[in-house]
Amino acid sequence: MAKRDPYSAEQHSVRVLKVGERVRHILSELLARQEVHDDIVSAANIAVTEVRMTPDLRNATAYVKPLLGAGEDDVVHALRQNTAFLQREVAKRLGLKFAPKLKFRKDESFAEADRIEALLRDPKVARDLEGDEDE
């Protein structure tokens, strides 16, 4: 007999979001308190902008952005070298049955937002948008 899941699909997705947010807060706290003993990580003010969890909560992708945007590749590389320590700390503080495996990636959303903003400021696009307001 198959084991029935007591949670609906909607409750699963809410749980995934909540756990992702908790992981983001834990990582932000570890980085803000400079608990990672790495010169590059300690020297940079790093923002954890988002953490995306897989539905089974076993993998987490953390999107990071150094404030002022300097040395993004170096910071991500340093975080990847310290993944074992960060996973251990997240596991202690999270209290789940399985600790998520962490992956670190550069946050490209700000660059994408700037690109879209530049497109919207283009005179050709602005002309088309003005026509929509009259309707």
Mean pLDDT to the nearest integer, 92-100: 87
Q: What percent of the chain has pLDDT over 70?
A: 86
- Residue 135 pLDDT > 60: no
Type of residue found at 96: L
49-86 residue pLDDT tens: 999 999 999 999 999 988 876 788 899 999 999 999 99
pTM of the model: 0.74
Mean predicted lDDT score pLDDT of the chain: 83
pLDDT at 132: 54
DSSP 8: -
Reported as type and span, the H/E element at residue 79 is: helix 72-81
**CATH for the stretch 9-107:** 3.30.300.20
Residue 71 region by backbone torsions, left for phi larger than 0, else alpha for psi between -120 and 50, else beta:
left
Token pair of 128 as six digits: 């088309």
| Confidence at residue 134, expressed as pLDDT on a 0 to 100 scale | 47
Angle between helices 123-134 and 109-121 (to 10 degrees): 70
Cβ pair 96, 56 in contact under 8 A = no
CB within 8 Å of 24: residues ≥ 6 apart: 48, 50, 51, 62
pLDDT of residue 8: 56
Is 63 strand, coil or helix?
Answer: strand
State residue 3's pLDDT score. 46
Q: Domain residue spans in the chain?
A: 9-107
pLDDT for position 1: 41
pLDDT value, residue 133: 52
Average pLDDT over residues 111-117: 76
**CA–CA dist 81, 118 (Å, integer):** 36
Residue with tokens 């923002």: 47
